[in-house]
Amino acid sequence: MTTQDSPRTAPGRGKGAAGSGAAGTAGAADPRRWYALVVIALAQLMVALDATIVSIALPSAQADLGASDAGRQWVITAYTLAFGGLLLLGGRLADYAGRRRTFLVGLVGFAASSALGGAAQDFGTLVAARGLQGAFGALLAPSALSLLAVTFTDGRERGKAFGIYGAIAGSGGALGLVLGGLLTDSLSWRWCLFVNVPVAVVTVLGARALLPRGGGTGLRGLDLPGAVLATAGLTAVVFGCAQAAPWGWDSAGVLGSLAAGALLLAGFAVRQARFAQPLLPLWVLRDRSRTAAYLAVALTVAGMFGVFLFLTYDLQVVLAYSPVRAGTALLPLSGTVLVSSSGFASRMLPRVGPRVLMVPGLAVTAVALLMLSRLTVDSGYVAQVLPAEIVLGAGLGCVFVPAFNVATTGVGPREAGIASAVVNTSQQVGASVGTALLNTVATSATAAYAASHVGASRVEALVHGFSTGALVAAGLLAAAAVLAFALLERPGDSA
């Protein structure tokens, strides 16, 4: 193994790299760092909201633009495909072109594509705009997280900063449902996209004034073939999972897409092992705690996004809530994530370490999903949905804060962008795969229940499908807890 490949010997890649050197000193001494955190948090909030804000407005957009039932999913899928497929390239560009510059380009592009989608006069334009949002989000998200990682190097301050970031990442999806319902009911579905423009303008002004300048290392040697392999491979995998619901998991199109994705990703891994300046240095994945964080984020988001989908339909279809009321009913989940992340988890992280928080957090989240798997047509919001939301939020906060921290700890400033990109890729791929997988499980269970219970109502079949999907989601979180227990280093373990 060469020094370039080894995290123990490469310059700036050791366990203390993130907190050493000029970058660490400057970050700790910069009196503007907490204002910079506000700027970074605004950008992350915008990206997190867009993962779900359009979902609750989709029926109105579909009716307005005349989209088919089969085609409407692409408003969501185009975003996650572009986001998940381009994140590794976005993270590398942050390292090569400079984090601040990449952050600003991502902000401007995200705002422009949001405006294009809001003004769309046909469904194709809306889908294209959502794809562009995902592409610019792939620049914005890793540069934001890497800026956070190199700005806050003191242990206690880092815990607080990641607590705020984790709270936004964990609650942004639910907040998007609330805001989407309010905007759709009071104005128009178009404002679910237009709302990004003023937020982006404020964030750009703040970024130009507060974020540190960094020249990057230059684009020379950027692994574009590797970027094509990674992007195409992830896109094929996400596409296959997204099409599993309408086509079926055993269809030639789904199996072919998944097989092609696996082959492309295998080719990407081979290239990264041989290329002098890889897009994804494999040493990033050799740290077992970092790998555990990536897996935990992917599995947690997979279960969480599937459950958001089920809860939205349960509230609106089964309980007959309006979009605004349904979104408001999810606020306790967001509030609990906020309290758990910024209050409990961020304070405890420097004292007990990530393992003590993440493993119980994943287990608690699994319990919340088991609670939701017990839903019936007679289940009320206060008696069964609300308690599950509170338990779910408490668990999520204890997962996201340490996971984001571990994902970027022990990485030198020059590699912070790619380490951040991998954890963001875990989020997006987890969201795409989880939504497709759990939606397929729920749809199949609904159809099977309707076939075997001839006198059952459509609502009874739907709730049975939701419950089955939540049970599978609980299994994903239980698996994540086992992996985190096995892989995360205990305090005192050797590196």
Task: Print pLDDT tens along the chain (495 aa).
Answer: 333 333 333 333 343 333 333 333 334 446 677 777 778 888 878 887 877 788 777 777 877 888 765 466 678 778 877 887 787 778 778 777 777 888 899 999 999 999 999 999 988 899 899 989 988 988 888 788 777 777 776 666 767 777 777 667 656 666 787 788 888 888 888 998 998 999 889 888 888 877 766 655 555 667 778 878 887 887 788 778 767 767 877 899 999 999 999 999 999 989 888 887 777 777 777 778 888 888 888 898 888 877 777 787 788 778 888 778 877 888 888 788 878 877 788 788 878 878 888 899 999 999 999 999 888 888 888 988 999 989 998 898 888 888 888 877 776 666 666 777 777 778 777 877 777 778 778 878 888 888 888 777 888 888 888 889 899 999 999 999 998 888 887 655 544
- 227 plus 206 within the same structural domain: no
Q: Which amino acid is at 263?
A: L
Instruction: Tell which residue, 304, 282, 303, has the closest CA to residue 422.
Output: 282
Burial class (CB in 10 A: 0-12, 13-18, 19+), 169: buried
One domain for residues 45 and 61: yes
- In-domain check, residue 426: yes
Domain that holds residue 425: 25-213+279-487
Clarify whether residues 274 and 294 are in a common domain: no
Q: Are residues 161 and 243 in the same domain?
A: no
- Tell me the helices (H) and strands (E) count for the chain, helix number first: 21, 0
Q: Give me the number of domains the chain comprises.
A: 2
Q: Is 41 domain-assigned? A: yes
Q: Which of 278, 296, 316 is the last residue of a domain?
A: 278
Count, residues in the chain = 495
**Does residue 271 sit in the same domain as residue 285?**
no
- We report the CATH number of the domain holding residue 166 as 1.20.1250.20
403 and 343 in a single domain? The answer is: yes
Looking at the fold, whether 257 and 404 belong to one and the same domain comes out as no
Same domain, 458 and 394: yes
**Which one, of 405, 342, 432, lies nearest residue 18 by Cα?**
405
- On whether residue 409 sits in a domain, the answer given is yes
Q: Is residue 371 part of a domain?
A: yes
C-alpha to C-alpha distance for 110 and 200, rounded to whole angstroms: 8
Q: Is residue 7 part of a domain?
A: no
Same domain flag for 91 and 105: yes
8 Å CB contact between 230 and 88: yes
**Boundary of a domain, candidates 239, 257, 278:** 278
Angle at 337 between CA 392 and CA 285, to 5 degrees: 85
Phi/psi of residue 79, each to 5°?
Answer: -70, -50
Q: Within a domain: residue 76?
A: yes
Model pTM?
Answer: 0.72
SS3 4: coil
Query: The tokens of 11 are what?
Result: 């310059």
Are residues 309 and 232 both part of a single domain?
no
Verify that 440 and 326 share a domain, yes or no.
yes
Count CB-CB contacts under 10 A for residue 102.
27
In terms of domains, do 175 and 233 share one?
Answer: no
8 falls within a domain: no
Please report whether residue 388 resides in a domain: yes
